[in-house]
Chains A and B, each alone.
Chain A
Amino acid sequence: MGLNEKPLSTLHEKASYDLADFEVPTGREEAWRFTPLSRLKGLHNGKAQVSGQVITQAFTPAGVSAEWVGRDDARVGKAYVPADRISAQAYNGFEKALVVTVPKEAVPDGHIGIELRGGGTDGVTYGHIVINVEPMAEAVVVIEHQGSAVYADNVEFVVGDGATLKVVSLQEWDDDAVHVSHHHAQLGKDATFRSFVATLGGDLVRLSPSVSYTAPGGDADLAGVYFVDAGQHLEHRLLVDHSQPHCRSNVDYRGALQGQDAHAVWIGDVIIRVEAEGTDTYELNRNLILTDGARADSVPNLEILTGEVAGAGHASASGRLDDEHIFYLQARGIPFDEARRLVIRGFLGQLIERIEIEEIRERVLGAVEAELAR
C-alpha cells in the first residue's frame, strides 16, 4: 500500500498504512512539537518491545456482536488510515482487532462496554478497535482505560446512514501510563455522533479524535474534559474534516490544570472544503490554570475553503479563576476552598452533564471532585 495522498490542506499532511511513509518524529514537526517524545517510552521510534500488557474486554448487550479478527478482515482500517508515525506503528503492531457490530436498525438495551486494563509499563502494547453501527441503529459505547501501560491504538467508529453513536472514553490511567490514541469517526448520511472524552490519569496521554463525513447531513459533537496534575502531559488533538455539504460539528473541550509542570495541549483543527457548502461548525477550548507552574497550549485552526458556510467559528481562552465568581460565593459565607471547588466543578460540570448514563456521569464528577480534593 503506497502513500495515500489526499488533496489536503496544510493541517493534515499524509495518511498511510505503511510505517515507512512516516519518519520517526524528532519533536521539531508541527504535529509533535508539544509532545515530550522522551516520555513516550519508545512508542514513536519502533524501538520498544511489544509485551501485550493491556487486556481488552468487551461487554455487549443482546443483539450486538463483538469479535476478535485478524488484520486481513475487510472491516479493519476501512474508515481510518493512520495519519502519523505512532498511529501507523499501532496499525502495524496489533495482533487482533476487536470488531463490535450493532446491526441495522438495532437499538440495544444498555450500553456497550469496552474495558482496557494495563498490567505494567514494561514494553508496549498496540491495539485496534472497530465499532460498526449499521444504518439506522443507535448505540452507546463506554471505553475505559485503567491501570498502567505503554499503549498505542486506533479506534474506528463507523456510523452508518441515519445511525446514532454516543461514545464516552475515560482515560483513568495510573500515574505512569503512556497512551497515544486516534479515535476516528466516519459519519454516513444523516448520521449522529456524540463523543465525550474525560482524561484524568496517565503520565502522558495524547488522544486525537477526528471526524469525517461520507455524505451530507452528518452531525458531530465532540466534548472533552481533562484535569492535569503536576508533571502530567495531557494532549488532545481534534480534527473535523468537512468534505460534504450540510454537515454540522461542535467541539467543546475544557480543562483544569494544577501543579508544577502540569501541561495541557489542545489542538483544534477544522477544515471546510470547497464542496462542503452549508457547513455549520464551532470549536471551543477553555483552560482554567489553578496554580503557578502549569501551562496550557491551545491552538484552534479553522481553514475555510468555501464561501458558503452556515456558520464557522472558534474560540480559545485560558486563564485563572475569576475573582468575581469567588467573591460572590464568599460573600455568601462559602469558604474560599469550597467556592473554588464549586466554580471549577461548575466549569467542567457543564460538559459532564452531557453524559447520559448516570453511573458514568457520577463517576466522572466524582473523579473531578477527587482531583479537586488533592
Chain B
Amino acid sequence: MSTLEIRDLQVAVEDKEILRGVNLTVKSGETHAIMGPNGSGKSTLAYAVAGHPKYTITGGQVLLDGVDLLELSVDERARAGLFLAMQYPVEVPGVSVSNFLRSAVTSVRGEAPKLREFAKDLKAGMDALSIDASFAQRNLNEGFSGGEKKRHEILQLELLKPKIAVLDETDSGLDVDALRVVSEGINRFRASGETGVLLITHYTRILRYVKPDHVHVFAGGRIVEEGGPELADKLEAEGYEQYTKASA
C-alpha cells in the first residue's frame, strides 16, 4: 500500500509561477486522471514531481509514503518508487535500449537481474507491447516513431514496477491501435492493485481504455474541479472553455 501526497505544491520556471498550490493524493489501486487545456501546468506537475532541473519548487511538499521526494535527487525519487512516462522521451545517441533497461532495472532493484531472467522478462514485455525484437539493439529513442517512443515508455513502466506512475500525455500522437496496445500495458500495470496511476491527458479518448476512479480538471496551475469518471464525459461534451475563462 503506497500513497503519493502532493500538498500545496507551487512551482516556477525562471521566476514565472506555473503551479499555484496543487493538492492531490494518489493511493495504490487508484487511477487519477488530470485533464486540462494546453498550458494549464499539467506537464509541469509531472516534471516537478520527478525533479526536472528546469523547475523550481517555491512551496509545498510531495510525499511518497511519508518521504519528501523534493528532498531527493531525480534518481533517488525513481528508486523510491516513482515513475514518469514522458511525453517527449529524449534520444540518447550510442546508448542501446537493452543496455539502458538493464542499467535502470539494476538501479531500481538494487541488484543486477540474472541475465537469462532479464532477457526473458524483456522479451515478454516487448511481445506484449508489439515491439519488434530488433528494438533492443537500437539506440535509446533514436529514430523511434511517436508510437514506438510511447510503447517503450510503457515497457519501462512494466519492467521497473514503480509504486506510483505518472503518465504525461502518453496518449498524444497515438493512432487507435497503438493507443489500445499502450492502454493494455497500463492496465496490466494496474491489475495488481498495488500501484497508483496519475494519468495526465488532454483528451478523454484514453479514458475509454484506462478507466479512472477520479478525474481532476487542471486550469491556471491548480485543480479547479474534481469528480468521478462522469466528469470526463462532461468535459468531452463541453470542453475546457468554462475553466479557461474562469482562470484567466
Query: With the chains together, A342 CA to B99 CA distance in Å?
Result: 9
Q: Which of A318-374 contact B (CB under 8 A)?
A: 322-325, 327-336, 338-339, 342-343, 345-350
- Contacts A346-B93, A346-B139 supplied; 20 other A-B pairs, CB < 8 Å: A325-B92, A327-B51, A328-B89, A328-B92, A329-B95, A329-B104, A331-B74, A331-B75, A332-B100, A332-B103, A332-B108, A333-B107, A334-B75, A334-B107, A335-B75, A338-B107, A339-B75, A342-B100, A343-B95, A347-B94
Evaluate contact between B75 and A330: CB separation under 8 angstroms. Answer: yes
Most buried by B among A322, A334, A350: A334
A333 in contact with B78 given A327-B52, A328-B89 (CB within 8 Å): yes
Task: Kindly provide the distance from the CB of A68 to the nearest chain B CB, expressed in whole angstroms.
Answer: 41
Is B167 at the interface (CB under 8 A from chain A)? no
Q: Please give, as numbers and ranges, the residues of chain B lying within 8 Å of A349 by CB-CB distance.
A: 94
Evaluate contact between B103 and A325: CB separation under 8 angstroms. Answer: no
Q: Please give, as numbers and ranges, the residues of chain A lying within 8 Å of B95 by CB-CB distance.
A: 329, 342-343, 345-346
What residue in chain B is nearest A323 (Cβ atoms)?
B53
Evaluate contact between B107 and A328: CB separation under 8 angstroms. Answer: no
Is B50 at the interface (CB under 8 A from chain A)? yes
Task: Kindly provide the distance from the CB of A327 to the nearest chain B CB, expressed in whole angstroms.
Answer: 6
Evaluate contact between B108 and A333: CB separation under 8 angstroms. Answer: yes
Task: Kindly provide the distance from the CB of A290 to the nearest chain B CB, expressed in whole angstroms.
Answer: 16
Task: Kindly provide the distance from the CB of A52 to the nearest chain B CB, expressed in whole angstroms.
Answer: 41
Q: Which of A325, A346, A350 contacts B90 (CB 8 A)?
A: A325
Q: Please give, as numbers and ranges, the residues of chain A lying within 8 Å of B79 by CB-CB distance.
A: 333
Query: With the chains together, A349 CA to B99 CA distance in Å?
Result: 13
Query: With the chains together, A342 CA to B103 CA distance in Å?
Result: 9
Dominant SS among interface residues on chain A: helix
Q: Please give, as numbers and ranges, the residues of chain B lying within 8 Å of A335 by CB-CB distance.
A: 75, 107
Evaluate contact between A332 and B78: CB separation under 8 angstroms. Answer: yes
What residue in chain A is nearest B89 (Cβ atoms)?
A328
Task: Kindly provide the distance from the CB of B75 to the nearest chain A CB, expressed in whole angstroms.
Answer: 4
Q: Please give, as numbers and ranges, the residues of chain A lying within 8 Å of B107 by CB-CB distance.
A: 332-335, 338
Query: With the chains together, A327 CA to B156 CA distance in Å?
Result: 15
Task: Kindly provide the distance from the CB of B168 to the nearest chain A CB, expressed in whole angstroms.
Answer: 11
Evaluate contact between A327 and B74: CB separation under 8 angstroms. Answer: yes
Q: Which of A325, A333, A346 contacts B160 (CB 8 A)?
A: A333
Q: Please give, as numbers and ranges, the residues of chain A lying within 8 Å of B89 by CB-CB distance.
A: 328
Give the number of chain B interface residues (Cβ < 8 Å): 29
Task: Kindly provide the distance from the CB of A361 to the nearest chain B CB, expressed in whole angstroms.
Answer: 14
Evaluate contact between A331 and B50: CB separation under 8 angstroms. Answer: yes
Task: Kindly provide the distance from the CB of B57 to the nearest chain A CB, expressed in whole angstroms.
Answer: 16
Evaluate contact between B103 and A336: CB separation under 8 angstroms. Answer: no
Q: Please give, as numbers and ranges, the residues of chain A lying within 8 Å of B52 by CB-CB distance.
A: 327
Most buried by A among B51, B83, B140: B140
Task: Kindly provide the distance from the CB of B11 to the nearest chain A CB, expressed in whole angstroms.
Answer: 16
Q: Which of A327, A338, A347 contacts B53 (CB 8 A)?
A: A327
Evaluate contact between A328 and B108: CB separation under 8 angstroms. Answer: no
Task: Kindly provide the distance from the CB of B61 to the nearest chain A CB, expressed in whole angstroms.
Answer: 20
Q: Please give, as numbers and ranges, the residues of chain A lying within 8 Å of B75 by CB-CB distance.
A: 330-336, 339
Most buried by A among B99, B103, B108: B103
Task: Kindly provide the distance from the CB of B96 to the nearest chain A CB, expressed in whole angstroms.
Answer: 8
Evaluate contact between A346 and B94: CB separation under 8 angstroms. Answer: yes
Q: Please give, as numbers and ranges, the residues of chain B lying within 8 Å of A331 by CB-CB distance.
A: 50-51, 74-75, 77-78, 83-84, 86
CB-CB contacts of A182-206 with B at 8 A, as 1s and 0s? 0000000000000000000000000
Q: Please give, as numbers and ranges, the residues of chain B lying within 8 Å of A328 by CB-CB distance.
A: 86, 89-90, 92, 140
CB-CB contacts of B80-91 with A at 8 A, as 1s and 0s? 000110100110
Evaluate contact between B160 and A343: CB separation under 8 angstroms. Answer: no
Evaluate contact between B86 and A345: CB separation under 8 angstroms. Answer: no
Task: Kindly provide the distance from the CB of A279 to the nearest chain B CB, expressed in whole angstroms.
Answer: 27
Q: Which of A322, A338, A347, A350 contacts B103 (CB 8 A)?
A: A338
CB-CB contacts of B151-195 with A at 8 A, as 1s and 0s? 000001000100000000000000000000000000000000000
Q: Which of B62-83 contact A (CB under 8 A)?
A: 73-75, 77-79, 83
CB-CB contacts of B22-62 with A at 8 A, as 1s and 0s? 00000000000000000000000000001111000000000
Evaluate contact between A330 and B74: CB separation under 8 angstroms. Answer: yes
Evaluate contact between A343 and B92: CB separation under 8 angstroms. Answer: yes
Query: With the chains together, A335 CA to B108 CA distance in Å?
Result: 10
Task: Kindly provide the distance from the CB of A333 to the nearest chain B CB, expressed in whole angstroms.
Answer: 4
What residue in chain A is nearest B52 (Cβ atoms)?
A327
Q: Which of A219-276 contact B (CB under 8 A)?
A: none
Task: Kindly provide the distance from the CB of B12 to the nearest chain A CB, expressed in whole angstroms.
Answer: 18
Evaluate contact between A347 and B156: CB separation under 8 angstroms. Answer: no
Task: Kindly provide the distance from the CB of A126 to the nearest chain B CB, expressed in whole angstroms.
Answer: 38
Evaluate contact between A334 and B103: CB separation under 8 angstroms. Answer: yes
Which 3 residue pairs are nearest across A and B when measured between Cβ atoms?
A346-B94, A333-B78, A330-B74
Evaluate contact between A332 and B160: CB separation under 8 angstroms. Answer: yes
Most buried by B among A329, A342, A347, A350: A329
A350 in contact with B93 given A332-B107, A334-B107 (CB within 8 Å): yes
Q: Please give, as numbers and ranges, the residues of chain B lying within 8 Å of A345 by CB-CB distance.
A: 94-95
Q: Please give, as numbers and ranges, the residues of chain A lying within 8 Å of B139 by CB-CB distance.
A: 346, 350
Q: Please give, as numbers and ranges, the residues of chain B lying within 8 Å of A333 by CB-CB distance.
A: 75, 78-79, 104, 107-108, 160
Task: Kindly provide the distance from the CB of A331 to the nearest chain B CB, expressed in whole angstroms.
Answer: 5
A330 in contact with B93 given A323-B53, A342-B103 (CB within 8 Å): no
A336 in contact with B92 given A328-B86, A331-B50 (CB within 8 Å): no
